Structure 1
Amino acid sequence: SGVFDGGPIEDLSLETWQHVVDVNLTGVFLCTREAFKIMKAQGGGRIINIGSISAQMPRDNASPYATTKHALVGLTKSTALEGREHGISASILHPGNVVIERRAGSTASADAEPM
């Protein structure tokens, strides 16, 4: 989930980098922060973030995306630690390639089984 933008690292603009970070990481942080407040007040809850296999196996020309998904692992683990005493759990799911309309022309393996 999130935005995927990239290219060769030496050609990446700061604007492209910042856009991916803002959507994929800062957006999740803001939602997590507000959900945490609500869950703490109600005595618990569950936060489930959507990561990506790219956190473990980055693709070429995808450094902003892979970086944000890797950082999301740290955010989720930190949230789980802080939430433990309040009955709040946090987990992350790492789907592989998912066939969606906007990626219909991607270079994902034709042999890969869609989720």
Structure 2
Amino acid sequence: MSKRFENKTIIVTGGASGIGEACVHLLAREGANVVVADLNEDHAKKTVADVEQSGGKAAAFAVDVSDPKAVEAMVKFAVETFGGLYGAVNNAGIGGPSAPIGDYDIDAWHKVLNVDLHSVFYCMKYELAAIEASGGGSIVNMSSILGTNGFSTAPAYVASKHAVVGMTKSAALEYSKRGIRVNAVGPGFIRTPLLDENLEPEDIEGLVALHPIGRLGKSEEVATLTAFLLSEDASFVTGSYHLVDGGYAAQ
């Protein structure tokens, strides 16, 4: 295993489960000091314990990413704990209810945008300053295959993920000459505990059928692409949106 992130500090929001947890473990194996930021503090601490048991370095931070002051505190914690900040995976998100626009609950709309879109702005606002002060680095914003595609009955989620792609491009233009690369990843439907808990088996099979590769993605597959984009292996890549979707968008 390479050590592309030796002694580099990286924040992963939503780092205690699913794609975020897979990113935490891969980055730690490659030498990063990982801040596992998650709303569920117990799960964050468990992920940290697993990382440390495997010989990695990590620290847990309980955060509501929809609260800008909490996000600011998260970045301060990372800098004070590990002495700087190299990068971040802004991954925390929710799906929201399923309903057409005319029936979509207004409070639910705002909640999804607060968690899936506004939080990415809050994270980058504070991360970018800390990364620049540390000498530069890289950010990956977790969008979705629905960052460019529509999906019936998910208007808030789709709107948020489209906006994350646009904001990523703007941030890349603003910070490229300041030593910071910013990219977005667009996963297809990934087999995570959240998916299994919220969907019936027949619904999951319906999602499988949407992917030409014939299965749902794995969190580890998203983590591999994310780590590449964070690393200096992707030193000429910024302002881009990268799919890991089993052929979903090729149809």
Q: TM-score, normalised by structure 1?
A: 0.92
Point out the structure with max Rg over C-alpha.
Answer: 2
Aligned residue for 1:114? Answer: 216
Task: For residues 34-59 of structure 1, give each alpha carbon's deviation from its aligned partner in whole angstroms, at most 9, with x where no partner exists.
Answer: 11010121221100011100112221
1:86 corresponds to which of 166, 178, 191: 178
2:165 corresponds to which of 51, 64, 73: 73
Aligned residue for 1:14? Answer: 106
1:101 corresponds to which of 193, 206, 211: 193
Aligned pairs (5 A) from 1:21-32: 21-32=113-124
* Aligned-pair CA distance for 1:85: 1.6
SS of the residue 2:141 aligns to:
strand
Judge conservation of contact 2:100–2:153 (CA < 8 Å) in 1.
yes
Identity of aligned residues (%): 31
Bigger relative contact order (CA 8 A; separation at least 6) = 1
What is the number of equivalent residue pairs in this alignment? 115
SS of the residue 2:215 aligns to:
coil
Unpaired runs of at least 5, structure 2: 1-90, 218-251
Q: TM-score, normalised by structure 2?
A: 0.44
SS of the residue 1:29 aligns to:
helix
Task: For residues 65-102 of structure 1, give each alpha carbon's deviation from its aligned partner in whole angstroms, at most 9, with x where no partner exists.
Answer: 00000000111011111111210110001010101122
Counterpart Cα distance in 1 of 2:208 and 2:166: 32
Measured on the aligned residues, the alpha-carbon RMSD in Å equals 1.4
Q: Residues 110, 81 of structure 1: CA spacing in aligned structure 2 closer, same or farther, 3 A cutoff?
A: closer
Q: Which has the higher strand share?
A: 2
Unpaired runs of at least 5, structure 1: none
